[in-house]
Amino acid sequence: MRLYTKYIKKYGVVFCVSLFFLTLEAVCDLLQPTIMSRIVDVGVAQRDLNYVLSTGGLMLGVTAIGAVAATMRNLLSTYVSQNFGAQLRSDLFKKVQSLSFENIDRFDRASLVTRLTNDVNQVQVFVNGMMRIFVKAPLTCIGGLIMATQLNPRLAVVLAVVVPIVGLFIYLNMKIGFPFFMKVQQSLDRVNGVMREYLSGVRVVKAFNRFDFEVDKFSHANEELQTKSISATRVMSIFSPAIMLTVNLGIVAVLWMGGLAAEQGDMQVGHIIAFTNYMTQILFSLMMISMVFNMFVRAKASAGRIGEVFAEENRMTWKEQESLRGDGKGRIDFEHVSFSYEGGHGESVLKDITFSCLPGETVGIIGSTGSGKSSLVGLIPRFYDATKGTVRVDGVDVREVDPKLLREKMAIVPQKTVLFTGTVKENIRWGKDEATDEEMELAARMAQAHDFIERTPDGYQARVGQGGINFSGGQKQRLSIARALVRKPEILILDDSTSAVDVATETKIKEALREYAQGLTCLLIAQRITSVMDADKIVVLDQGELVGIGTHESLLKDCRVYQEIFQSQIGKEVQ
């Protein structure tokens, strides 16, 4: 609830104004049966046409005021709920962005999407509903009870029986419905998850002819959602008719009691009509209340899930005042670093790693797949925190600096290339907003991307589809290298970034980099030994352990793992 104080403050005034209109509307509604009973009991009974006309005019006026009030609160409630929804969604998005990888790993990605869309929507619908009916319904209900009792205390006995029964139904409805809606939400997550996975792997699914399998998987998730939704609705569907039945029985009782009394001459017809009118109003408002409670149940489940994201404390802390020393010039030190995923509870991925990259050095990192290379470099921009030991950049512990400052110093070409929807130019500029066209072109030339970009009809203005779908693997990698180079970082991290590029092009990129990398610390992860051979220093990883460090020649002499890699790659070519 505390989370929403901010929004209450922001929209509180408009909210209250809309409540004012709502109250006005409810009062108008409540006045009508009484006015009508007068018309019947006085005007019609005494055949006084003037009274009928003047009181009828009053009734029209009251209805008109009610209609204006209803229009106003509709306009206001739409304004508030839409703005609130947009704001909440944007705050949630910002929160997700601010979280560290470790935090995000704890949520299923698909569930984050449903939280941002469906859950926010549910809360928004509730806010809208609350402003339209939530206050009006109890108002009409209580007002109706008072007016009806005043009109005829004898008939009010029926109300004393009907209202508690209906109240009980509403309570049960809420109590039983809540867990069901939680389950519906979880099933929706699963449907989204399956869909997302299918879409991101659609080519593989088709290539392996696993279409039926995926359809089955989807149907399974979909059916689960269906059954869960049906059982949730089933619970709900018992209560609404039960409420309706109870109130209708009440109306029958009023007509019966009123009829008996009228026969004996101690009740007026107008009173009976007005009383049943109030009963219907009370019925409707009670139905509304149960409907709003249904909305509330759903919104509560959704709000809880949104709250979970907001409540996720970013585990990454730092000292505000600490800044990186400018004279370090991109030095990186690993001191007895151990690391495991899942907040340090997972399997050990890196074990007691110690080495340094001096400013301006190019350090190659090699090791078999799964040996922890990507995990190792992920600690430098502080994607994750080391479980033990310290990672230092420019001599400062990365845990003490604002990650923003830290990341400003470096550029990373991730192993899995990520491009964004937009133009080629926008994608390269993404590395540095203020880059000039010349700088951008230079970066593209160094990454050997300029030629193929120029060859496309639109050149730098060519569209990039979602995830770079319209570019080949090697082209994507080169665009992603250009994006990093345009940044002119002090530390450049290339994670297997030329794996999809042919050897001739790779050589050209390396030559361009060598010139560019003067004075720049460069970490180069590679599978091919030829990619790292001429680095100043090569780090060899094996199952998370550092098993060798040195130049190509020295490692060839005394590092067994390096020798094996060399044998398997170069040795074969020689044979």
> Which residues form the interface with ligand GTP (CB under 6 A)?
341-342, 346, 349, 367, 369-375, 415, 496
Contact between 527 and Mg ion by CB under 5 A: the answer reads no
Angle of helix 49-98 versus helix 120-129 axis, rounded to 10: 160
Copy the structure tokens of residue 63. Answer: 């209805």
Rounded CA-CA distance 14/7 in Å is: 11
Residue 552 in contact with residue 564, Cβ under 8 Å? no
Binding mask of the shown chain, residues 328 to 367, with x at each position contacting Mg ion by CB under 5 A: ----------------------------------------
Residue 171 in contact with residue 216, Cβ under 8 Å? no
From residue 166, how far is each of 44, 159, 160 by CA, in Å? 35, 10, 11
Residue with tokens 């470790």: 102
Q: State the Cα angle at 172 between 166 and 173, rounded to 5°.
A: 90
Copy the structure tokens of residue 333. Answer: 């030190």
> Residue 374 or residue 417: which is nearer to Mg ion going by CB?
374
> Residue 194 or residue 366: which is nearer to Mg ion going by CB?
366
Which one of Mg ion, ligand GTP, none is in contact with 372 (Cβ closer than 5 to 8 A by kind)?
ligand GTP
Closest residue (Cβ) to Mg ion? 374
> Residue 170 or residue 501: which is nearer to ligand GTP going by CB?
501
Which one of ligand GTP, Mg ion, none is in contact with 370 (Cβ closer than 5 to 8 A by kind)?
ligand GTP
Least Cβ distance, residue 394 to ligand GTP (angstroms): 24
Which one of Mg ion, ligand GTP, none is in contact with 100 (Cβ closer than 5 to 8 A by kind)?
none
- Contact partners, residue 366, CB within 8 Å, separation at least 6: 373, 525, 526, 527, 529, 532, 538, 539, 540, 541, 562, 565
* DSSP single-letter state for residue 521: E
> Residue 69 or residue 365: which is nearer to Mg ion going by CB?
365
Candidate ranges 79-87, 226-234, 334-342, 369-377; the one touching Mg ion (CB under 5 A): 369-377
> Residue 187 or residue 374: which is nearer to ligand GTP going by CB?
374
The DSSP annotation for 117-173 comes to IIIHHHHHHHHHHIIIIITHHHHHHHHHHHHHHHH-TTTHHHHHHHHHHHHHHHHHH
Which one of ligand GTP, Mg ion, none is in contact with 375 (Cβ closer than 5 to 8 A by kind)?
ligand GTP
Rounded CA-CA distance 485/574 in Å is: 35
Least Cβ distance, residue 369 to ligand GTP (angstroms): 3
Least Cβ distance, residue 105 to ligand GTP (angstroms): 6
Contact between 83 and Mg ion by CB under 5 A: the answer reads no
From residue 288, how far is each of 303, 355, 449 by CA, in Å? 21, 68, 63
Candidate ranges 52-60, 62-70, 322-330, 408-416; the one touching Mg ion (CB under 5 A): 408-416
Angle of helix 136-151 versus helix 269-311 axis, rounded to 10: 160
For Mg ion (CB under 5 A), the number of binding residues is 2
Residues in the chain: 575
Rounded CA-CA distance 158/179 in Å is: 34
In this structure, what is the dihedral angle of CA atoms 367, 373, 374, 376, given to the nearest 10 degrees? 180
> Residue 79 or residue 341: which is nearer to ligand GTP going by CB?
341
> Residue 295 or residue 529: which is nearer to ligand GTP going by CB?
529
Least Cβ distance, residue 566 to Mg ion (angstroms): 20
* DSSP single-letter state for residue 526: -
Least Cβ distance, residue 205 to ligand GTP (angstroms): 22
Least Cβ distance, residue 369 to Mg ion (angstroms): 7
Least Cβ distance, residue 494 to ligand GTP (angstroms): 12
Least Cβ distance, residue 476 to ligand GTP (angstroms): 16
Least Cβ distance, residue 88 to ligand GTP (angstroms): 29
Buried b / exposed e over 33-47, threshold 16 CB at 10 Å, is bbbbbbbbbebeeee
> Residue 376 or residue 447: which is nearer to ligand GTP going by CB?
376
Contact between 374 and Mg ion by CB under 5 A: the answer reads yes
Q: Which of 415, 456, 507, 563 binds Mg ion (CB under 5 A)?
A: 415
Phi, psi values for residue 353, rounded to 5°? -95, 130
Least Cβ distance, residue 375 to Mg ion (angstroms): 8
Which one of ligand GTP, Mg ion, none is in contact with 310 (Cβ closer than 5 to 8 A by kind)?
none
Copy the structure tokens of residue 503. Answer: 């050897």
From residue 26, how far is each of 132, 144, 288, 318 by CA, in Å? 11, 10, 13, 55
> Residue 85 or residue 372: which is nearer to ligand GTP going by CB?
372
> Residue 128 or residue 374: which is nearer to Mg ion going by CB?
374
> Residue 282 or residue 349: which is nearer to Mg ion going by CB?
349
Candidate ranges 109-117, 413-421, 453-461, 541-549; the one touching Mg ion (CB under 5 A): 413-421
- Residues at the site binding Mg ion, with contacts judged by CB under 5 A: 374, 415
